[in-house]
Amino acid sequence: MIKASQLINLLTKEELNFITGIPCSILKDFLSGLSEKKGQIEHIIATSEEEAMSIGVGYYLATAKIPIVYMQNSGLARSVDVLTSLANKEVYNVPILLLISWRGDPSKKDEPQHLKMGKITPKILKTLNIPYTVLSDSKPKIVKEIKVAKKYLENNSLPYAIIIKKGLIKPDQTKKQKDVYLLSREETIKIIINNLKNDEVIISTTGKTSRELFEYRETKKQSHKTDFYTVGSMGCSAAIALGIALGKPKKKIFVFDGDGSVLMQMGSLATIGHYLPKNFYHIIFDNNTYDSTGGQKTVSDTVNFNKIALACGYKNVKTVFTQKKLVNIIQNLKMSSGPKMLVIKIKNGSRKDLGRPTITPSENKKLLMNFLKS
């Protein structure tokens, strides 16, 4: 194991001091360490892996210095286009150090959405002709591995990957973010469910939003037949909901989304606004963090979702901060045609004992499809 601060120091010692990417829970301690190293390393918060890769390319073009791009291995799949059409030797020859977290590592137990990618991560890198190493568990070996990576990057002007397993990076002491808002996501989910008729379809985004919705259904002894708990596929919940809304125009379709997810696939807002599904209700829980991967900041604090949604064609957008206003808006939300958006400003974090869905993704799919047939 290695402390986050030690790993950061090893990277900056090799003059690898520009970093951008999308977080993963495996990297949460490393990313917390970055926030404590302002001035030593420049950290750019991106909204998608493709964007992070492109930022890295631009930084190299501007400075001739090697950028670092971090991502979960699911993000490696999203980055293939940039790796093959920009950074590849047949095109621009760009050296990028990839820090890739290994979810679905075959030697460890993991969630179902990570298993396939976990098995094929090394194969993808081999297919792309990107050399890689799996980071060792001792500092002396890690020092050598980073030096090998730097030498390859300099000599070949091509990407090189370092794969990081779960539990390898130890945390340093970090400052806890202060809560700005009163409502929690779990509390707002309960309020919304309590003010719906229970015949609406809810598509919930990946991570803790789906977990909290599932647990509340269990607490209330309600069926899961109206819910779709998106696993993986971050940013795709709104598009999934759009497809359902177009296929079942008489059903009310709700999206339980997050600020990080919306930012990752913001083009979906334009598509929704163009096709104007009248039965579409988009709820964004905005806590300015990637809560499911450790609470890393998003850029939502400088984004006006209201103006963006209206510019894309949404019929109505509201923002709420309090329980009283939330109840009033939810009760009236379905009374007129969509697409509508509700942005709820919430504090970050969740219960430490929050569980996971006890039904499989396949079972979830069958329940919803049977409901939509009826």
Q: Measure Cα distances from 355 to 55, 102, 156, 211, 274 in Å.
A: 36, 22, 46, 7, 38
Q: Write out the H or E segment, with its range, that includes residue 7.
A: helix 4-13
Separation CA 85–CA 283 (nearest Å): 36
Q: Write out the H or E segment, with its range, that includes residue 226.
A: none
Q: What pLDDT shows up at residue 77?
A: 92
* CB atoms closer than 10 angstroms to residue 292: 21
Could you tell me if residue 55 is left (phi over 0), alpha (psi between -120 and 50 degrees) or otherwise beta? alpha
Is 41:32 a contact under the CB 8 Å cutoff?
no
Quick: pLDDT tens for 59-99.
Answer: 999 999 999 999 999 999 999 999 999 999 999 999 999 99
Dihedral sign for Cα atoms in the order 320, 219, 288, 197: negative
Question: Residue 280's beta-bridge partner residues?
Answer: 253
Domains 2-170 and 185-373 are alike in CATH topology: yes
Q: 212: burial class by Cβ within 10 Å (0-12, 13-18, 19+)?
A: buried
Could you tell me if residue 313 is left (phi over 0), alpha (psi between -120 and 50 degrees) or otherwise beta? left
The alpha carbon of residue 211 and the mean position of all alpha carbons in its chain are separated, in whole angstroms, by 15
The CATH number of domain 185-373, selected from 1.10.238.10, 3.10.20.30, 3.60.21.10, 3.40.50.970: 3.40.50.970
Q: What pLDDT shows up at residue 174?
A: 62
Q: 149: burial class by Cβ within 10 Å (0-12, 13-18, 19+)?
A: buried
Q: Which residues contact 289 (CB under 8 A, 6 or more apart)?
A: 177, 259, 260, 295, 296, 297, 298, 348
pTM greater than the 0.85 cutoff: yes
* CB atoms closer than 10 angstroms to residue 179: 12
Q: What pLDDT shows up at residue 36?
A: 80
Q: Write out the H or E segment, with its range, that includes residue 135.
A: none
- For the chain, domain boundaries: 2-170, 185-373
Beta strands, E only, the chain: 2-3, 18-21, 42-45, 68-72, 97-101, 132-134, 160-164, 169-170, 201-204, 227-229, 253-258, 280-286, 289-290, 296-297, 316-320, 340-345
**Number of residues written out for the chain:** 374
- Give pLDDT < 50 ranges for the chain: none
Q: What pLDDT shows up at residue 176?
A: 63
CATH 3.40.50.970 describes domain 2-170: yes
Q: State the DSSP string of 142-191.
A: HHHHHHHHHHHHHHH-S-EEEEE-TT-EEPPP-PPPPP--S--HHHHHHH
Structure tokens belonging to residue 201: 């379809």
Structure tokens belonging to residue 57: 């390319």
